[in-house]
Structure 1
Amino acid sequence: MSVISEENVRGGNVFKDISADDEDWQPSEMESLCMNCYQNGTTRLLLTKIPFFKEIIVSSFSCAHCGWANTEIQSAGRIQDQGVCFTLKVKSKQDLNREVVKADSATTRIPELDFEIPPFTQKGSLSTIEGLLDRAVSGLEQDQSVRRAADPEVADKIDEFILKLKKLKEVENEFTLVIEDPSGNSFVENPAAPLKDEALTVSLFKRTVQQDMQLGIRADDDLSEEPPGDDLETMRNEVLVFNTNCPECNAPASTNMKLVQIPHFKEVIIMATNCDSCGHRTNEVKSGGATEELGTKITLHVTDPSDMTRDLLKSETCAVIIPELEFELGMAALGGKFTTLEGLLKDIKELIVSKNPFVCGDSSNTDRVQKLKEFGEKIDKIISGELNVHLILDDPAGNSYLQNVYAPEPDPEMTIEKYTRSFEQNEELGLNDMKTEGYQEGN
């Protein structure tokens, strides 16, 4: 059995990138009980990294006595700041091939069948939509022989439901798959990347107290909705520092937080994390004010390399659109950022091209890889001033900002449009109340 040395734990060396060239990096093996025949089998553990999904533990069990085998995947990375919900309209058999990372904390629903797989009832998996359906069928079929003997009527109803699940794989009718994960560590592939996925909706949400308890990040007896707040004036005048863990290597790190007033705009909270162990740096921006009454759409005609130095605030609710590239980045991606236009474009390139988990490795599609490579080259041309485009920041919460370099005069290359949010946008922002419910009924 291989041993994980104590000195490798700190600094993140335990989790390595998957590589066929690293022959020394072998799974850890241990003897463990087979839950099928109750004799001893072998469990193999591999600690590795998948882009976006961070660190994972892949475990594989096999029993030489009865032949039973099982493979599981478990997230070893940090829990994200917000939960994530993926809603996919499955319209064709091609959609069944979409790859899915499903964390064990995720709830899977198919509303058309009133079917739900609760959180923590299945181990995490890296699979496809078809694989999720097959796994659900296998789970329901597992104890059918016992049910037929004990309660034939219930067994018959489950058989009927299994047939409905199997029929979904024919995609004779469109159906909806919802994956809601409070840990924020689940993902559904966008096969059209870098273009917008018309069939997939991604939204972020704030976890409930009960979900925090399920994830183990809040004590069972802690029922307070919000942690005690700091004095507002202290936040304005000081940089607050608190301990955290690095999102890359999980080593102890520190996060700095500061309340900053952006000229001609509003106050925002900037949080920056620096890791001394691996050198990773990240920054995130949260709006310091409430959601605005109207949404904001900012359109900039990028015509000169000097535009790259414009300060830019992208809130966590803001979508980024580049019409000339047929590109749209949803509000759930990248989070909140206070950077420059060049910084945002580089982050987009890194997210779509460099860190795309579904175009890495031997199974990646050659055409898709080439398409993403060309997209990255176009981003480079925009940064260097060789390609003029329109960049649109569409924020239904009205909390995003792009610097007007001509201020206080109007910017000839920039337009700012205020608009009334739709019911769906209010729902994504968690703002729906009696007034918006009436709006839905009337529209």
Structure 2
Amino acid sequence: MCTEDKKPLFRDLTAEDPDPEVTEIESLCVNCYANGITRLLLTRIPHYKNVVIMSFSCEQCGFENNEIQPGGSYAELGVRWKLRVEDPIDLNRQVVKSDYTAVRIPELDFEIPAQSQKGEVTTVEGIITRAIAGLTQDQEVRRQQHPEEAAQIEQFIERLQTLKNGGSWVLELEDISGNCFVENPQAPAKDPRCERTDFKRTKEQNHVLGVFSQDEVNPLPNTLTPCDPSQASYDQLVSDEVLQFRTNCPDCNAPADTNMKLTKIPHFKEVVIMATVCEACGHRTNEVKSGGGVEDQGVRFEVRVATKEDFSRDILKSETCNMLIPELDLEVGGRALGGRFSTAEGLVRATLEQIKDAPTLQGDTPSLVSKDNLERFIEKLQEVLDGKRSITLILDDPAGNSYVQNLNDDPAAYDDGLKVTRYDRTFEQNDELGLNDIKTENYEES
């Protein structure tokens, strides 16, 4: 339950909070097998995420150990990164790896399996350096006991060393938890040498993360209750009813209330609007979910934004919808802004606010992203909001669950500021939406 002063569970380490809540647990020392003390601190890394800092110390032998674990939930989808290392600057890209990140270098047939290393914030060069250090660790013993294997490992270490000396090669990262990231030196422009792909986890991968469906936990039929949103059915949400259930704040993890309501968008479909307000930290979230399934075709909208009337155009952007502004060379993934029902002005302003909060502009951490380029880009976005620069807003939704308002009174009439294109999805797009898995399951059952 929330305390009376409603403090967030994950708080910033500041001078205003000189006495952070530290939990101490008596635990076994793995070095001398005496009892030591493990201290747990729940805190936040600015512009990143909530973390749990764990520190162990043993008074008997002096052994100490420190570790950081993510304090947030797993992402809804897994993620794959494919980086083509072609320039020395690529070796300095920052990489965030979780415990579930698998690393592969196809050119060397080399793989670091998931859960074989602890999560860390490193660089591309740091990944290679750590791999070399791990292979070199017991080389002296191998040279005496297994000289042939030691020689083979030595040759492989030399091949790893050549990766840092230049040339072109590929680094692949796969993380079923979705907590993996590769820095883009060209941000906010699209990365020319790195590709990101989201994928739906299999049942086995969910079990590795400790994620189980309600049917697996409790196979008995359940009825809808306000405290169990996973059982919610859109049919049980009448138009004038707001369903409220308890959840945790996505920012500080304190208990909060989420309101959910079914709304009909004229000339489109029903959507579910969800809003969360946290009384502990003041964080607010607004999210829109489609009330139906995936459409038969994807949809692409091209919207001209040049006048005040264009800014007031209603737009429903689903979480699978990518947003592009060709004039600014900007591409925003579907989950960057999330699902939201807003206007053209609202989408541009939300993009501006997210870029302003980028870690590159806030901290003094070394980064490959140029602060000057981001500041100039922010100025261009501000010119768009001020009406000094016209743009074309492109919304591409493979799921077909996005909508852009026709400014004419007759929705069937032609709107010269709006172009709508329907298209058939590719196999890769179906895979990201999880449709290929459904087809495979139906085929196996038949």
TM above 0.5, one fold?
Answer: yes
The answer to whether residue 118 in structure 2 is matched with residue 123 in structure 1 is: yes
The answer to whether residue 8 in structure 2 is matched with residue 16 in structure 1 is: no
Seen in structure 2, the aligned counterparts of structure 1 residues 293 and 224 have a Cα distance that, compared at 3 Å, is farther
Q: Secondary structure at the match of 2:185?
A: coil
Q: TM-score, normalising length from structure 1?
A: 0.81
**Unmatched segments (≥5 aa) in structure 2:** 223-230, 441-446
Counterpart for residue 377 of structure 2: 375
Seen in structure 2, the aligned counterparts of structure 1 residues 332 and 138 have a Cα distance that, compared at 3 Å, is farther
Counterpart for residue 404 of structure 2: 402
Task: Give the number of equivalent residue pairs.
Answer: 427
Please report how far the alpha carbon of residue 110 of structure 1 lies from its aligned counterpart in structure 2 after TM superposition: 2.5
Pairing of 1:256-405 with structure 2 (within 5 A): 256-354=259-357, 356-364=358-366, 368-405=370-407
Please report how far the alpha carbon of residue 337 of structure 1 lies from its aligned counterpart in structure 2 after TM superposition: 2.0
- The answer on whether the counterparts of 1:359 and 1:365 sit within 8 Å (CA) in structure 2 is no
Pairing of 1:84-163 with structure 2 (within 5 A): 84-148=79-143, 151-163=146-158
Counterpart for residue 182 of structure 2: 188
**Matched residue type, 2:330:** F
**Matched residue type, 1:202:** R
Distance 1:164 1:27 in 2: 48
The answer to whether residue 424 in structure 2 is matched with residue 429 in structure 1 is: no
**Matched residue type, 1:207:** R
Seen in structure 2, the aligned counterparts of structure 1 residues 35 and 232 have a Cα distance that, compared at 3 Å, is closer
Q: Secondary structure at the match of 1:162?
A: helix
Seen in structure 2, the aligned counterparts of structure 1 residues 426 and 198 have a Cα distance that, compared at 3 Å, is farther
Seen in structure 2, the aligned counterparts of structure 1 residues 158 and 45 have a Cα distance that, compared at 3 Å, is farther
Please report how far the alpha carbon of residue 99 of structure 1 lies from its aligned counterpart in structure 2 after TM superposition: 0.9
The answer to whether residue 248 in structure 2 is matched with residue 245 in structure 1 is: yes
CA shift digits 1:235-263 (9 cap, x unpaired): 34443333221111110112233333322
Please report how far the alpha carbon of residue 301 of structure 1 lies from its aligned counterpart in structure 2 after TM superposition: 0.8
CA shift digits 1:75-95 (9 cap, x unpaired): 122333333332222222211
Seen in structure 2, the aligned counterparts of structure 1 residues 133 and 257 have a Cα distance that, compared at 3 Å, is farther
Q: Secondary structure at the match of 2:370?
A: helix
When structure 1 is superposed on structure 2, of 319-328 and 165-174 the one drifting more is 165-174
- The answer on whether the counterparts of 1:102 and 1:126 sit within 8 Å (CA) in structure 2 is yes
Q: Secondary structure at the match of 2:130?
A: helix
Please report how far the alpha carbon of residue 33 of structure 1 lies from its aligned counterpart in structure 2 after TM superposition: 8.4
- The answer on whether the counterparts of 1:58 and 1:71 sit within 8 Å (CA) in structure 2 is yes
CA shift digits 1:202-235 (9 cap, x unpaired): 2333333333333334389937899975444213
**Matched residue type, 1:11:** K
Counterpart for residue 214 of structure 1: 208
Distance 2:204 2:195 in 1: 25
What RMSD over aligned residues (CA atoms) do the two structures have, in Å?
Answer: 4.0
- The answer on whether the counterparts of 2:104 and 2:172 sit within 8 Å (CA) in structure 1 is yes
Please report how far the alpha carbon of residue 413 of structure 1 lies from its aligned counterpart in structure 2 after TM superposition: 0.8
- The answer on whether the counterparts of 2:299 and 2:399 sit within 8 Å (CA) in structure 1 is yes
- The answer on whether the counterparts of 1:203 and 1:332 sit within 8 Å (CA) in structure 2 is no
Distance 1:285 1:265 in 2: 14
- The answer on whether the counterparts of 2:92 and 2:368 sit within 8 Å (CA) in structure 1 is no
Counterpart for residue 440 of structure 1: none
- The answer on whether the counterparts of 2:10 and 2:44 sit within 8 Å (CA) in structure 1 is no
Please report how far the alpha carbon of residue 302 of structure 1 lies from its aligned counterpart in structure 2 after TM superposition: 0.5
Seen in structure 2, the aligned counterparts of structure 1 residues 302 and 45 have a Cα distance that, compared at 3 Å, is same
**Matched residue type, 2:433:** L
Distance 2:157 2:75 in 1: 34
When structure 1 is superposed on structure 2, of 182-191 and 319-328 the one drifting more is 182-191
